[in-house]
Amino acid sequence: MGKTKIKDLTDEEYLHHGSLACAGCGALLAFRHALKALGPNTITINSTGCMAVIMQMGVPKVPHFHVLFENGPAVMSGVEQALDIMGKRGDTNLLVVVGDGGTADIGMGSLSGAVERGHDFIYLCYDNESYMNTGGQRSGTTPFGAATTTTPVGSVVKGETRPMEMRKDVPEIMIAHGAPYVATASIGYPLDLIDKVKKAATVRGPSYVHVFASCPAGWRSDAKDSVKLAKLAVQTGLIVLFEHENGERTFQHLPKKRKPLREYLELQGRFKHLLDDEDATRELEDYVEGKFKAIEG
Amino acid sequence: MTEVFFTGNRAAAEAAKLVRTQVVAAYPITPQTSAVEYISQFINNGELKANMIRVESEHSALSAVVGASIVGARTFTASSSQGLQLMSEGLYFASGMRLPLVMAIANRTLSMPVNIWADHQDSMVNRDSGWMQIYCANAQEVFDNILQAYKIAEEVLMPAMVCYDGFIVSHVAERMEIIDQEQTDMFLPEPDLTKRPLMDPKNPLQFGEVVYPDWYPDYEYKKHKALLDSPKAIMDVGREYGELFGRSYGMVENYKTDDAEIVFMGLGSLTSTTQWVVNDLRDCGSKVGLSKIRVFRPFPDKEIVEACKNAKVIAVIDRDIGYGTSGMLFPDVTRALYPLASRPKCLNFIIGLGGKDITPETIKNIHETCEKALEGKEVETVNWPDARKYD
């Protein structure tokens, strides 16, 4: 499959303007790009989360079902099996879009079950690293040190204390399931994201695309920096973009020389307290270092 | 029509096969499991063209049939006890989406303490989830009610639970009759998919969205109204079923209630035991009757009032308990009777919890208390005749 270029992108939009998203919403960009990749013959499901709220009042131009918090993959299992037995599947894409809380935490069982059973659908997780729809609480993907409303900066404990290595790594969990296509993407690299969603659509069976998506409201960053932050996360090495299929992993936009983490951290209020804390920033640097050692061998 | 010797679970599976269920999603739980095992065998034998989704939880079982239904498939699922509780969130989700789902419930109590045997706690605590609830006393009724539930649910666009006592009905084989495929197809044609919105890329619609406070009551009222109006469909279908296959069904089966001074009321298999006792007591000269409630949601106010028109004492038998109040059938009966100018005395009897055997003696014990009340003696309102006393 060829790489998508900007001039190849359709001018067609599958989400109406005027959604309820905050300015600079990364999740909305993830969904918008995914639908540009898939086109109108797509049935979409949102588990509860920001996206379900953003989509209300007729934003999507494709069939859209806002389901419960934890059951998106289960509902899609039923859609897929019904279309199959009724002979109505054709080329219809089935896309489930869920945040990190609905994916890594409350919906893990439902996702695991649907992937293990091998349903033919695409699962897109927009990861903004906490429960943003309820105002920014800590989730299973919240990074070490980040201040959230349930891991606030106090006089004794400052932000999330669980080490980076123990974050719930859903892409790796999906690879362990034997999902035929697993990829990570970032809204900072939309063409790469579109290529990955397109690839996911061609794969038979479950595909999992984990999209890093900035959140100005929860990260306490400037809306104009959303795309910049989604790039910086990759350029600093905190986030690694890859594709995994047929047992092979390939990397995209892997930085040859990583930018200092500080450039990423200092743009976000959630990390402000870390800037003067050498131990804490070293913990993050060690994590990136260790990850790249493993990648580069 | 064929005479067979089936358990309640086998009868449920046969009915699900005959209605040409297209998608089945279920998770194993005692005592429901064998119903789903039979269906799996039908599919793997090629007797039923359906997809079986062997989900990882009951929550996902209900979610999956919601997904299948919203693109137009006829679906089946079954559960019990803890499984039904895990589905609880989805019950409201499904009824709010106005999906014509049918679910078999092999009734079992709720832990703790752990107990796998029959009572109605599991379905009763979900009585206000917007699902119709039909209760069965034997395997024949399980079969008949599941066939009818599809027709009713697809007519009123609300989901239906068909409930039958775990083990007592689910696992006991009885002589019963089944109808054949041709008869089923005549009774229940393919679902009319023009009656409700479906997820279809050719006609993109949005489902499950937010409704703000100004309009929310209207949606709630429409759900309520759909159930309030459903007795017409329930009665029509029950009558048609009778005309075609010889067994008619209504909301309530009133037995010898016309001149009864004491009327027993209950759900499920205990009504068979009670009917036997009613005959016995009638032979001894007692004016007793039985109101066997088939449809608990929507609640059959009219039929209950009719059953009680000459009664002086009503014995509401609950195989469930609303801790701190009474059984869960009791308040609906008293609410239905409250507007009457002359109300009978209503007593509540909590029996058979966790599978405790309901024998003719249990019912006779209830009758004795009712006789006392009839004589004007003081009796408790909520009674536990088969539990030990610790006062």
Residue of A nearest to B66 (CA): A75
pLDDT at A189 over 90: yes
Q: What is the pLDDT of residue A12?
A: 96
Q: Point out the residue among A40, A64, A114 whose CB comes nearest to the CB of B207.
A: A64
Q: Say whether domain B2-245 belongs to CATH 1.10.10.1590.
A: no
CA pair distance A121, A201, nearest whole angstrom: 8
Whether A67 and B63 lie within 8 Å, measured CB to CB: yes
Mutation to test the B interface, candidates A19, A42, A48, A67, most B Cβ within 10 Å? A67
Q: Chain B partners of A68 at a C-beta cutoff of 8 Å?
A: 63, 89-90, 93
Q: What is the pLDDT of residue A1?
A: 63
Task: Output DSSP code: residue A182.
Answer: E
Tell me what the mean pLDDT of segment B24-40 comes to. Answer: 98
Evaluate whether A229 touches A212 at the Cβ level (below 8 Å): no
Structure token pair of residue B46 = 């090629």
Q: Point out the residue among B61, B73, B199 whose CB comes nearest to the CB of A63.
A: B199
Q: Chain B partners of A76 at a C-beta cutoff of 8 Å?
A: 67
- Establish whether this prediction's ipTM goes over 0.95: yes
Q: Point out the residue among A41, A45, A82 whose CB comes nearest to the CB of B68.
A: A82
Q: Which CATH architecture has domain B253-383?
A: 3-Layer(aba) Sandwich (3.40)
Whether B67 and A64 lie within 8 Å, measured CB to CB: no
Over the stretch A104-144, which tens digit does the pLDDT of each residue have?
999 999 999 999 999 999 999 999 999 999 999 999 999 99
Mutation to test the A interface, candidates B55, B76, B193, most A Cβ within 10 Å? B55
- Residue A18 to chain B, least CA–CA distance (Å): 16
Q: What is the pLDDT of residue A297?
A: 82
Whether B208 and A67 lie within 8 Å, measured CB to CB: yes
Whether B89 and A61 lie within 8 Å, measured CB to CB: no
- Residue A91 to chain B, least CA–CA distance (Å): 11
B48 shares contact with chain A (CB less than 8 Å): no
B197 shares contact with chain A (CB less than 8 Å): no
Tell me what the mean pLDDT of segment B81-107 comes to. Answer: 98
Which region holds residue A69: left if phi is over 0, alpha if psi is between -120 and 50, else beta? alpha
Tell me what the mean pLDDT of segment A44-60 comes to. Answer: 94
Domains (range + CATH), chain A: 16-296 (3.40.50.970)
Confidence of residue B105 (pLDDT cuts 50, 70, 90): very high
Whether B201 and A84 lie within 8 Å, measured CB to CB: no
Tell me what the mean pLDDT of segment A290-295 comes to. Answer: 95
Whether A85 and B49 lie within 8 Å, measured CB to CB: yes
Q: Point out the residue among B49, B56, B65 whose CB comes nearest to the CB of A78.
A: B65
Q: What is the pLDDT of residue B240?
A: 98
Confidence of residue B391 (pLDDT cuts 50, 70, 90): confident
Q: Which residue has the higher pLDDT, A58 or A76?
A: A76
CA pair distance B298, B149, nearest whole angstrom: 13
What is the 3-class SS of chain B, one letter each residue? CEEEEECHHHHHHHHHHHCCCCEEECCCCCCCHHHHHHHHHHHHCCCCCCEEECCCCHHHHHHHHHHHHHCCCCEEEEECHHHHHHHHHHHHHHHHCCCCCEEEEEECCCCCCCCCCCCCHHHHCCCCCCCEEEEECCHHHHHHHHHHHHHHHHHHCCCEEEEEECCCCCCCCEEEEECCHHHHHHHCCCCCCCCCCCCCCCCCCEECCCCCCCCHHHHHHHHHHHHHHHHHHHHHHHHHHHHHHCCCCCCEEEECCCCCCEEEEECCCHHHHHHHHHHHHHHCCCCEEEEEECEEECCCHHHHHHHCCCCCEEEEEECCCCCCCCCCCHHHHHHHHCCCCCCCEEEEEECCHHHCCCCHHHHHHHHHHHHHHHCCCCCCCEECCCCCCCC
Residue A39: CB atoms within 10 Å: 16
Which region among A51-60, B45-54, B291-300 has the lowest average model confidence (pLDDT)? A51-60
Owner of token pair 């068909």: B162
Q: Point out the residue among A65, A86, A113 whose CB comes nearest to the CB of B55.
A: A113
Q: Chain A partners of B74 at a C-beta cutoff of 8 Å?
A: none
Whether B2-245 and B253-383 share one fold: the answer is: yes
Q: What is the pLDDT of residue A57?
A: 86
Helix B270-283 to helix B360-374 angle (10° resolution) is 60
Where exactly are the structural domains of chain B?
Answer: 2-245, 253-383
- Residue A178 to chain B, least CA–CA distance (Å): 17
Mean pLDDT of chain B: 97
- Residue B52 to chain A, least CA–CA distance (Å): 8
Over the stretch B206-244, which tens digit does the pLDDT of each residue have?
999 899 999 999 999 999 999 999 999 999 999 999 999
Residue B271: CB atoms within 10 Å: 26
CA pair distance A1, A195, nearest whole angstrom: 8
Tell me what the mean pLDDT of segment A162-168 comes to. Answer: 96
Over the stretch B354-371, which tens digit does the pLDDT of each residue have?
999 999 999 999 999 999
Whether B201 and A40 lie within 8 Å, measured CB to CB: yes
Whether A78 and B57 lie within 8 Å, measured CB to CB: no
Mutation to test the A interface, candidates B20, B21, B22, B23, most A Cβ within 10 Å? B23
Beta bridge partners of B350: B318
